[in-house]
């Protein structure tokens, strides 16, 4: 809407319109903080724009960043007063009345009244939004177009945020109620008073330039510093780690950093950035996971350029005998896969250290960092959770700092789709809801597994990555004597093999750890253990008969599950792990997901929820 229209809209109507949009696109109610921001901050912005004579520029409210779930509070769109070219101003609105820098940092703030939770400096935040828009929006790749950012702390005066005022640069500026006049002049220098509707339409219709995939960039990030750009809480997490490292050698108390986030929220992005930064600053840092596929893939990628660097990627069980605080930093990625105890296959219980695995990991480094998604615990012996890490850390006298990525960011994919999956599986209350199509993500239902496979092959042939996965409801055979794979996944006349077991070489199929990243992986069905931790553009999921819809809710069928690790799980534990497993499988896709159920009743439910379908091939 135009600045004038925004000013003339009553506060109640504005909040109601934005609330309805949140319900329809995200399947959730906006938070109280969001409502307060709409109620107080947007009118303050509208008044500044109109007082500056910019009545006709377009104001895009809650503008969604391409290929993410990040939203800028507003993007102002018009033409530049000097060049006449399209001009864009990204705006971050803050209701803060007081703020201070976190000691020993330049880009983290403490806000009284918010429990002194660390927040990213608003200038650093809006500068990243500008860069991100330019990186991922085809229209803005043209350097003639003008993109700047600003943060407006309309409730604050300069004296109450004085520590924050030193971070201004040519790309982003900060303004308060004290500098309202300067803000008006700044806006007049960026935007002419002409109507900005055409430029706004061009921005909204601009093609999206996809970001580079994590694994393809990993080697450059680790070896050469890379180009990963951390956003919002991602940068908060990284800055907290850097701060903890800088003071670790002069502090008697060590800090544990716990970063929680769902699929695609950037946990591994943070890990790789820290590996690069700390390595270049001569800090002793190691990356560890509990996932053989994930660690092997990282070793493979970076090892192609430097075999020595690959040794920095380890497993959780490798730290049983390390000296206390031997490392500066231990980055525990996929920390939901922490086991109760470290034990190699066949090791006797007497060889254990006497400590739990999480205690071993905390003891190993001056700054232990845990990155996890509690809804990705998929095995009975996995116990990685925020609560368990907190308990072990506090028992050792450590300070624990938390960062939650869940409501901030998704690197590709769709936050709305993730909510849809959680509602579908009963991980959020309210029951399954129909999918509302959105422009950045496709959800389709296949009538047959043949149709799913054909469609995914067409996506990969068009240049996208595509994989098929399934619930663990079919046996998993060893290869035949001639090296060929057995077609274990059988649905009617359609049959395909699981991915290769382990790291053996099989003709025409990648080893297990490379199934998600090698093109030939599309020829096999991935299971939970090979898919977890990876993402690809197109994701096909076959729901097995271990999870079936019975008309009024989900029913678990343990007899349909062929995973021996769940054989002795209690009914409640089996149900919890099964929902988590399907949540992991269903959220691997960045561009789209295709579903099919082997159970007729479940397929019928999906047909009522998913409007788009792929007919039989």
Q: What is the pLDDT of residue 224?
A: 57
Q: What is the DSSP string of 554-589?
A: EEE-GGG---GGGTT--HHHHHHHHHHHHHHHHT-E
Instruction: Please count the CA atoms within 13 angstroms of the CA of 608 that sit on its side-chain side.
Output: 10
Q: Which parts of the chain sit beneath pLDDT 70? A: 26-27, 67-69, 114-116, 141-144, 208-228, 301-308, 343-353, 407-413, 617
Angle among Cα 126, 127, 129 to the nearest 5 degrees reads 60
Q: What is the C-alpha to C-alpha distance for residues 458 and 537, in angstroms, rounded to an integer?
A: 12
Residue 92 corresponds to which tokens in the numbers above? 């971050």
Outline where 412-539 has alpha helix (H). 415-425, 449-461, 528-531
The 10s digit of each residue's pLDDT in 520-573 is 999 999 999 889 878 888 999 999 999 999 988 999 999 999 999 998 899 999
List the one residue out of 549, 586, 593 whose CA is nearest residue 421.
Answer: 586
Q: What is the C-alpha to C-alpha distance for residues 478 and 332, in angstroms, rounded to an integer?
A: 32
List the one residue out of 421, 455, 413 whose CA is nearest residue 609.
Answer: 421
Instruction: Please count the CA atoms within 13 angstroms of the CA of 168 that sit on its side-chain side.
Output: 13
Q: What is the C-alpha to C-alpha distance for residues 529 and 533, in angstroms, rounded to an integer?
A: 9
Distance (Å) of CA 414 to CA 9, 81, 250, 376: 30, 37, 43, 18
Instruction: Please count the CA atoms within 13 angstroms of the CA of 317 that sit on its side-chain side.
Output: 16
Outline where 332-385 has alpha helix (H). 357-364
Q: What is the C-alpha to C-alpha distance for residues 167 and 126, in angstroms, rounded to an integer?
A: 12
Strand partners, 257: 369, 401
Q: What is the pLDDT of residue 407?
A: 59
What order of strands is seen across the sheet that includes strand 466-470? 525-526, 466-470, 536-543, 589-597, 442-446, 612-614
Q: Are 456 and 594 in contact (CB under 8 A)?
A: yes
Residue 105 corresponds to which tokens in the numbers above? 């940092």
Q: What are phi and psi of 73, to 5 degrees?
A: -55, -40
In the block, tokens 């069928």 appear at: 557
Q: What is the C-alpha to C-alpha distance for residues 184 and 190, in angstroms, rounded to an integer?
A: 10
Q: What are phi and psi of 179, to 5 degrees?
A: -105, 30
Instruction: Please count the CA atoms within 13 angstroms of the CA of 305 that sit on its side-chain side.
Output: 13
Q: What is the C-alpha to C-alpha distance for residues 262 and 532, in angstroms, rounded to an integer?
A: 12
Angle among Cα 609, 613, 616 to the nearest 5 degrees reads 135
Q: Exposed (0-12), middle (13-18) or buried (19+): which is 115, by Cβ within 10 Å? A: exposed
The DSSP 8-state label assigned to residue 68 in this structure reads: S
Q: What is the pLDDT of residue 22?
A: 79
Q: What is the C-alpha to C-alpha distance for residues 287 and 242, in angstroms, rounded to an integer?
A: 15
Q: What is the pLDDT of residue 104?
A: 87
State which H helix or E strand residue 491 sits in.
strand 489-491
Q: What is the pLDDT of residue 223?
A: 53
Distance (Å) of CA 174 to CA 81, 155, 191, 484: 21, 13, 17, 63
E strands of 196-312, at which residues? 255-260, 285-289
Q: Exposed (0-12), middle (13-18) or buried (19+): which is 557, by Cβ within 10 Å? A: middle
Distance (Å) of CA 82 to CA 86, 106, 120, 188, 189: 11, 34, 33, 11, 8
Start-to-end CA distance of the chain, whole Å, equals 45
What distance lies between CA 425 and its chain's CA centroid?
Answer: 20
Q: What is the pLDDT of residue 142?
A: 63
Three-state DSSP class for 199?
Answer: helix
Q: Are 316 and 383 in contact (CB under 8 A)?
A: no
Q: What is the pLDDT of residue 345?
A: 43
Q: Are 262 and 375 in contact (CB under 8 A)?
A: yes
Q: What is the C-alpha to C-alpha distance for residues 177 and 96, in angstroms, rounded to an integer?
A: 11
Q: Exposed (0-12), middle (13-18) or buried (19+): which is 174, by Cβ within 10 Å? A: buried
Residue 113 corresponds to which tokens in the numbers above? 């009244």
Q: What is the pLDDT of residue 550?
A: 92
Q: Are 527 and 477 in contact (CB under 8 A)?
A: no
């Amino acid at each position: 809407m135009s600045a004038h229209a925004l000013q003339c809209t009553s506060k109640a109507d504005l909040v109601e319109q934005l609330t309805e949009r949140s319900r329809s696109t995200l399947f959730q109610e906006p938070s109280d903080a969001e409502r307060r921001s709409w109620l107080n901050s947007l009118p303050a912005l509208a008044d500044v724009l109109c007082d500056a004579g910019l009545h006709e520029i377009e104001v895009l409210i809650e503008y969604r960043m391409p290929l993410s779930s990040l939203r800028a509070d507003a993007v102002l769109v018009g033409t530049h007063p000097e060049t006449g070219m399209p001009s864009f101003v990204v705006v971050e609105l803050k209701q803060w009345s007081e703020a201070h820098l976190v000691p020993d940092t330049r880009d983290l703030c403490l806000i009284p009244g918010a429990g002194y939770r660390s927040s990213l400096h608003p200038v650093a935040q809006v500068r990243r939004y500008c860069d991100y828009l330019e990186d991922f929006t085809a229209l803005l790749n043209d350097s003639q177009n003008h993109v700047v950012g600003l943060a407006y702390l309309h409730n604050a005066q300069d004296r109450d945020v004085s520590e924050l005022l030193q971070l201004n640069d040519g790309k982003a500026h900060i303004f308060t109620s004290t500098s309202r006049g300067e803000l008006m002049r700044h806006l007049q220098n960026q935007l002419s008073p002409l109507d900005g509707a055409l430029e706004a339409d061009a921005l909204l219709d601009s093609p999206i330039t996809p970001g580079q995939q994590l694994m393809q960039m990993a080697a450059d990030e680790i070896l050469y510093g890379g180009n990963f750009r951390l956003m919002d809480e991602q940068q908060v997490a990284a800055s907290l780690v850097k701060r903890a490292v800088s003071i670790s050698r002069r502090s008697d108390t060590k800090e544990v950093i716990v970063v929680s986030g769902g699929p695609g929220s950037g946990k591994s992005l943070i890990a790789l950035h820290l590996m690069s930064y700390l390595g270049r600053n001569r800090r002793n840092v190691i990356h560890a996971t509990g996932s053989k596929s994930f660690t092997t893939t990282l070793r493979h990628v970076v090892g192609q350029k430097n075999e020595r660097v690959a040794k920095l990627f380890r497993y959780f069980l490798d730290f049983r005998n390390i000296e206390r605080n031997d490392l500066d930093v231990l980055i525990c990625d996929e920390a939901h896969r922490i086991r109760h105890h470290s034990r190699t296959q066949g090791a006797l219980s007497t060889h254990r250290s006497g400590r739990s695995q999480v205690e071993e990991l905390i003891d190993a480094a001056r700054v232990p960092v845990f990155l996890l998604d509690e809804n990705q615990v998929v095995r009975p012996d996995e116990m990685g959770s925020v609560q368990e890490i907190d308990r072990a850390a506090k028992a050792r006298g450590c300070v624990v700092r938390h960062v939650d990525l869940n409501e901030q960011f998704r690197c590709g994919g769709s936050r709305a789709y993730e909510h849809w999956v959680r509602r579908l599986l009963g991980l959020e209350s309210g029951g399954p809801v129909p999918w509302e199509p959105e422009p950045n993500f496709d959800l389709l239902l296949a009538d047959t597994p043949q149709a799913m496979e054909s469609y995914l092959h067409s996506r990969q042939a068009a240049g996208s990555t595509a994989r098929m996965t399934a619930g663990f409801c079919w046996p998993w055979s060893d290869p035949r004597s001639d090296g060929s794979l057995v077609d274990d996944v059988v649905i009617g006349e359609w049959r395909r093999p699981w991915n290769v077991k382990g790291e053996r070489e099989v003709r025409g199929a990648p080893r297990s750890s490379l199934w998600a990243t090698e093109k030939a992986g599309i020829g096999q069905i991935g299971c939970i253990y090979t898919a977890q931790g990876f993402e690809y553009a197109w994701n096909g999921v076959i729901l097995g008969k271990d999870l079936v819809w019975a008309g009024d809710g989900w029913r678990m069928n343990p007899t349909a599950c062929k995973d021996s690790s769940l054989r002795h799980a209690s009914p409640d534990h089996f149900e919890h792990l099964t929902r988590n497993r399907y949540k992991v499988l269903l959220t691997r896709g960045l561009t789209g997901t295709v579903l099919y159920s082997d159970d007729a009743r479940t397929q019928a439910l999906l047909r009522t929820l998913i409007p788009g379908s792929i007919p039989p091939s």
